[in-house]
């Protein structure tokens, strides 16, 4: 059974940092392309970032709204993908989902609230 479990969310002040973790199981992670998607309080879905596998040189892609502030990374030995979020803004407040296989599988999400 495929499982994606996000952790690391919470309340953080604007300008601060937070790192999300997605632990996975049930599939061959080393071959997987992984994405982070967020859902705003208004329920709009927004793709955030993607990381490809080793055979694709771990290429990364970002939404313009997070480019330069967020970094996606992975540890194939731990079957985990990460999202380092720096210089957080109030508009980054959302539920962050880890997804696999072009959004075929989703985690339960972790809530990030950016507020002073």
Q: How far is the CB of 13 from other proteins (least distance, A)?
A: 27
For position 92 contacting other proteins by CB under 8 A, the verdict is no
Phi, psi of 6 (to 5 degrees): -90, 140
Burial class (CB in 10 A: 0-12, 13-18, 19+), 62: middle
Q: Does 2 bind other proteins (CB under 8 A)?
A: no
C-alpha torsion sign, points 85, 114, 13, 65: positive
**108 binding other proteins? (CB under 8 A):** yes
For the bound state, the minimum distance from the C-beta of residue 112 to other proteins, rounded and expressed in Å, comes to 15
Binders of other proteins in range 48-87 (CB under 8 A): 50, 61-64
Please say whether the dihedral angle defined by the alpha carbons of residues 36, 4, 84 and 60, taken in this order, is positive or negative. negative
**Shortest CB 29 distance to other proteins, Å:** 19
Which of 28, 55, 57, 102 lies at the binding interface for other proteins (CB under 8 A)? 102
- Pick between residue 19 and residue 67 the one whose CB is nearest to other proteins: 67
The verdict on 35 binding other proteins (CB under 8 A) reads: yes
The DSSP-derived string for 34-71 is: EEEEEE-TT--EEEEEEE--GGGTT-EEE-TTTTTTEE
Q: Which of 1, 28, 44, 68 binds other proteins (CB under 8 A)?
A: 44
């Amino acid at each position: 059974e495929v499982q994606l479990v996000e952790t690391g969310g919470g309340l953080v002040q604007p300008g601060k940092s937070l790192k999300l973790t997605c632990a996975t199981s049930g599939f061959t992670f080393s071959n997987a392309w992984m994405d982070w998607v967020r859902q705003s309080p208004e329920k709009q879905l927004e793709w955030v970032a993607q990381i490809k596998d080793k055979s694709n040189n771990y290429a990364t892609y970002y939404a313009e709204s997070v480019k330069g502030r967020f970094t996606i990374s992975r540890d194939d030995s731990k079957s985990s993908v990460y999202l380092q979020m720096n210089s957080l803004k109030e508009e980054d407040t959302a539920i962050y989902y880890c997804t696999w296989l072009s959004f075929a599988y989703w985690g339960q999400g972790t809530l990030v609230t950016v507020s002073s």
